[in-house]
């Protein structure tokens, strides 16, 4: 084991990795944003009108009164922007030059779009045999019945059974956060890092094909498996194997409790001032407690909770090693001391404005928690990219126009 001093490197984990980012919205940009935080050079290739999300709400007023998209700033910190019109020969020529210099290309077009723009997979590897090419699409790039369907996050979520339904007669509702975008972005990051590791070992490039639908099936593994095993849907509000489990009211709001192991069950009974319940026969396992929850556990639990505030209840349960949490709204959660202590509340700037958003959850030594840059202005890094990536001088570039 190397000494601890060997873990204090100031080198960002992905320093030197050059990524061409042709993606927009969330699934691709969130992946490449995390790579930018880790020190990769992210070249955001935008069409002449800019990434679609530059025109999406929510907006904040810019320094001259113009509308600046907080949506774009949130997902594109630390990147560099260049405009290329891929519908023109000169735009395609410049993209090919960048592909030749890049380690990674990320796009989240619908299947077939990049091919129609003149860059099928085979051509990309002709230009750069060691390129790692990552696509994030609704249903993947291999042959499948839904390959060419358009998709946003809720399309992938619903198609894969990721939704909330209070009962069989209720209208299925989205789960809330755009997990159909965020979860595939993390799978894309995982695949890219695996491919980069292999490239470091062998020099080989590779293809990372992420389907939002596949990611949602993976996210829903427990419910899908449960349905196949038991022939019925999982009720997310009441665990079939563990109790106490779920959401419970207290004096000033709600908390959640999740008692799973025998030590947690014993600690729970101690915490609520009813240690004798833990000694009763027929309550030693989770399924037994589920069956007898209303009969034995609910009344003493609710009586105890009725005297507690959110923080009092959770602090007490936590003292006895019982998993519990205050149920907070998202704004309250991000402003909490826990979020701030983990550097998860982050101020990001772009186009003359600053917004508060969520930081990077990946912490590696001194990097990723703090390695953040501003979101780029449209085409604002063209000269830098031509000079530093393609090795051109500005005078030569101007003569080419």
Question: What is the phi/psi pair of residue 284, to 5°?
Answer: -75, -20
pLDDT at 2: 45
Distance CA 311, CA 253 (A): 10
The pLDDT tens digits of the residues spanning 270-317 come to 999 999 999 999 999 999 999 999 999 999 999 999 999 999 999 999
Beta strands in 285-344 (DSSP E): 324-326
Indicate if 181 belongs to the active site.
yes
pLDDT at 320: 98
Distance CA 393, CA 323 (A): 60
The pLDDT tens digits of the residues spanning 81-127 come to 999 999 999 999 999 999 999 999 999 999 999 999 999 999 999 99
The pLDDT tens digits of the residues spanning 55-76 come to 999 999 999 999 999 999 999 9
What lies within 8 Å, CB to CB, of 63 at 6+ separation is 352, 353
Return the closest-CA partner of residue 378 out of 131, 79, 112, 106: 79
Mean pLDDT of the residues in the chain? 92
Instruction: Given the residues 21, 181, 214, 351, select the one marked as catalytic.
Output: 181
Return the closest-CA partner of residue 277 out of 163, 176, 267: 267
- Mean pLDDT over residues 389-394, rounded? 87
The pLDDT tens digits of the residues spanning 216-256 come to 999 999 888 888 888 888 777 778 899 999 999 999 999 99
pLDDT at 312: 98
Are the C-beta atoms of residues 43 and 82 closer than 8 Å to each other? yes
pTM across the whole model: 0.91
3-state secondary structure of 1: coil
pLDDT at 48: 97
């Amino acid at each position: 084991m190397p000494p601890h001093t060997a873990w204090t490197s100031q080198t960002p984990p992905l320093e030197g990795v050059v990524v061409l980012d042709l993606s927009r919205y969330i699934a691709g940009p969130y992946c490449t944003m995390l790579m930018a935080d880790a020190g990769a050079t992210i070249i955001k290739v935008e069409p002449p009108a800019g990434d679609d999300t530059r025109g999406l709400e929510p907006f904040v007023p810019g320094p001259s009164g113009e509308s600046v998209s907080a949506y774009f700033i949130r997902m594109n910190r630390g990147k560099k922007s260049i405009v290329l019109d891929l519908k023109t020969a000169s735009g395609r020529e410049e993209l090919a030059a960048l592909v030749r210099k890049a380690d990674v290309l990320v796009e989240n077009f619908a299947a077939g779009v990049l091919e129609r723009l003149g860059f099928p997979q085979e051509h990309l590897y002709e230009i750069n045999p060691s390129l790692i090419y990552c696509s994030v699409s609704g249903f993947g790039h291999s042959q499948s019945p839904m390959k060419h369907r358009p998709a946003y996050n809720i399309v992938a979520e619903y198609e894969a059974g990721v939704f909330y339904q209070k009962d069989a007669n209720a209208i299925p509702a989205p789960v809330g956060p755009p997990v159909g975008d965020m979860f595939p972005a993390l799978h894309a990051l995982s695949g890219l890092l695996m491919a980069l590791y292999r490239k470091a070992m062998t020099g080989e490039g590779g293809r990372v094909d992420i389907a939002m639908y596949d990611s949602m099936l993976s996210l829903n593994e427990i419910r899908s498996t449960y349905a196949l095993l038991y022939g019925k849907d999982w009720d997310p509000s009441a665990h079939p194997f563990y109790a106490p489990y779920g959401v419970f009211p207290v004096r000033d709001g709600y908390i959640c409790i999740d008692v799973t192991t025998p030590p947690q069950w014993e600690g729970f009974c101690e915490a609520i001032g009813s240690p004798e319940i833990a000694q009763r026969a027929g309550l030693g396992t989770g399924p037994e407690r589920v069956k007898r929850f209303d009969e034995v556990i609910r009344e003493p639990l609710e009586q105890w909770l009725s005297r507690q505030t959110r923080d009092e209840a959770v602090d007490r349960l936590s003292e006895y090693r019982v998993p519990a949490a205050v149920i907070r709204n998202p704004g309250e959660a991000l402003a909490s001391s826990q979020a701030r202590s983990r550097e998860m509340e982050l101020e990001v700037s772009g186009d003359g404005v600053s917004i508060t958003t969520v930081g990077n959850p990946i912490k590696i030594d001194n990097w990723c928690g703090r390695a953040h840059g501003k979101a780029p202005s449209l085409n604002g890094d063209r000269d830098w990219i031509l000079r530093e990536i393609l090795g051109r001088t500005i005078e030569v570039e101007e003569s080419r126009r």
